[in-house]
Amino acid sequence: MKTIIAGKNEAGQRLDKLLFKLLNKAPKSFVYKMLRKKNITLNGKKAEGSEMVQPEDEIKLFLSDETVEKFSESYVSPLVGQRPEQKENMKPAAIQVVYEDSNVLVVNKPAGLLSQKAKETDISLVEYLISYLLDTNSITLKELETFKPGICNRLDRNTSGLVAAGKTLAGLKTLSELFRERTLSKYYLCLVKGAVKEKKKITGYLLKDERTNQVTILSKQKENADYIETEYIPLKGNDDYTLLRVKLITGKTHQIRAHLSSMGYPIIGDSKYGDRAVNDKFKKQFKLSHQLLHSYEMIFPEGLEGELANLSGMKLTAEPPGYFEDILKACIERKGR
């Protein structure tokens, strides 16, 4: 038999969803069968699975240890157990913690690191975050049986900058809601080809090809295409290149990269939507192999309540990586406008 007393990361979710996390290798039909037969109970009573788990609720699984073990796959990070120097060797670059409290963690992701796994053998930002939380005793392996911290916004592999993660269920839920409702403002810096003279808000429709993982920007609505909005303002530049501050209003796959390219301002280094001749030049001169796009600022809305009230109106900033600054100096600041 296994007993779970609901804590802050178990309470506030449906019982069946909690059980699916705990028995993550079991068919859903098995979980519902065990509920029907009272082999899984909530506070000593039969449960349907739709009940919302409350703090201190007692969940009992009248199952053998072998059955629980068979249907439970414990989380083992590829970084857990590694020596510090081995962990460092596995990192493409140091991951900087920009902000942390008991519910939220915001980091500066380096270019070259996946936000989430694309395949089982990948090591992504999520693995580094969980490893960090284990190392700092912010979470235990036992707690990972029923709750896994996660990121709430994703950046392309070769885009650097701010990524927000929920350390607790409350953090994860609130952050996800802020991103979903677009009340959290996100700003990017990017270097583009061409002279951009004025601030502009652009709209369109984005159609994704799942097979090629590439998107097309359309001027008119089409089936399966998503409406998008992007706003940009030139910060400095010359006749050849411009540094833009971009506000991502909607957040779709490759939105900034494809939308700017459709306007005739491809991001430098972008292999999918950029200018090949320009990219070759920057690769030769600066050894640049990815887009110069950096998520540099997040501004939380005013009036947040509950456990994340301390984030109300907070502005978080991550400076661009050194190579970004070096290229700006060489291409813009030394030439002037």
Domain regions of the chain by residue span: 2-71, 84-180, 185-333
Residue 84's pLDDT is 52
Of 142, 141, 150, nearest to 169 (Cα)?
150
Model pLDDT for residues 64-85, shown as the tens digit of each residue: 989 998 998 776 666 554 545 4
Specify the pairing of strand 293-299 against strand 160-166: parallel
pLDDT digits (tens, 9 = 90+) for 28-41: 999 999 999 999 99
**Residue 209 is a catalytic residue:** no
Query: What pTM was estimated for this model as a whole?
Result: 0.86
Q: What is 2-71's CATH superfamily?
A: RNA-binding S4 domain (3.10.290.10)
* The CATH fold of domain 84-180: Pseudouridine synthase (3.30.2350)
- Mean pLDDT, to the nearest integer, of 209-214? 91
Q: Residues 6 or more apart from 185 whose CB is under 8 A from it?
A: 247, 297, 298, 299, 301
Positive or negative torsion for Cα 254, 256, 259, 261: negative
Distance CA 247, CA 320 (A): 16
Q: CA 198 to CA 235: how far, in whole Å? A: 10
Topology agreement, domain 84-180 and domain 185-333: yes
Higher local confidence (pLDDT), 84 or 219: 219
Of 39-48, 139-148, 282-291, which gets the smallest average pLDDT?
Answer: 139-148
Average pLDDT over residues 2-28: 93
For 185-333, CATH gives 3.30.2350.10
**Which one of the listed residues 16, 156, 270, 275 is annotated catalytic?**
156
Quickly count: other Cβ atoms within 10 Å of residue 61's Cβ.
Answer: 20
Confidence at 93, pLDDT banded by 50, 70, 90: very low
